[in-house]
């Protein structure tokens, strides 16, 4: 395939220290990555960061790519790693608020919920497998819209599941 031949030659040159080849290669990959991240996360200001971070991964790892003909797999994995990191960091500002340790402090300040820390195991056992799966996906870093798509349902239905599960738990804990 012509594309492969071009990439192999470019990768080899880039690995040998040809700055121009490296620049051309990365610019070529930038277009693919931009298209990919646009498809996965939609139009967002974070696209530029995702593309640049992935290019950095590729730039940094190019020397260890033994078979230049495997550039596609190499770039694909770099993009998938970046996407996973993006999901993990998506709600990072809230991680402080939702820190389980911080939770203990909140619980102890509210006598009615003082048993919350102890009862978290119980709370999780109250959840239906479906509701628990939704919460797991949420904490993995997905948005409700994405969860709905993965589960083949609507965003509204997903949100209602979460709300009902929480209400159920609150009722149980109130008794």
Q: Out of 38, 59, 69, 168, which residue is the one contacting other proteins (CB under 8 A)?
A: 38
CB of 12 to other proteins, least distance (A): 13
- By CB under 8 A, tell whether 59 contacts other proteins: no
CB of 17 to other proteins, least distance (A): 21
**Of how many residues is the chain composed?**
175
Residue ranges in 64-103 that form contacts with other proteins under rule CB under 8 A: 66, 70, 72-73, 75-77, 79-81, 83-85, 87-88, 91, 94-95, 97-100, 102-103
Nearest Cα residue to 146 out of 73, 86, 100: 86
- By CB under 8 A, tell whether 168 contacts other proteins: no
CB of 14 to other proteins, least distance (A): 16
Calculate the alpha carbon distances from 66 to 5, 11, 174 in Å: 16, 10, 61
**Cα 117–Cα 122–Cα 127 angle in degrees, nearest 5:** 120
- By CB under 8 A, tell whether 17 contacts other proteins: no
CA 164 – CA 81 distance, rounded (Å):
34
CA 130 – CA 147 distance, rounded (Å):
11
- By CB under 8 A, tell whether 129 contacts other proteins: yes
């Amino acid at each position: 395939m012509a594309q492969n031949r071009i990439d192999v030659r470019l990768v080899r040159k880039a690995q040998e220290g040809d700055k121009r080849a490296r620049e051309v290669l990365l610019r070529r990959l930038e277009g693919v990555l931009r298209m990919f991240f646009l498809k996965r996360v939609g139009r967002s200001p974070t696209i530029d960061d995702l593309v640049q971070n992935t290019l950095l991964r590729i730039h940094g790892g190019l020397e260890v790519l033994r078979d230049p003909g495997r550039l596609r797999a190499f770039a694909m994995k770099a993009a998938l790693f970046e996407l996973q990191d993006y999901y993990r960091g998506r709600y990072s500002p809230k991680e402080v608020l939702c820190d389980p340790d911080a939770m203990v402090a909140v619980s102890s300040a509210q006598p009615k919920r003082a048993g919350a820390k102890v009862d978290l195991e119980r709370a999780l056992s109250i959840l239906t497998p479906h509701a628990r799966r939704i919460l797991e996906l949420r904490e993995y870093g997905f948005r409700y819209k994405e969860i709905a798509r993965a589960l083949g349902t609507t965003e509204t239905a997903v949100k209602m599941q979460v709300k009902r599960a929480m209400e159920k738990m609150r009722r149980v804990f109130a008794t």
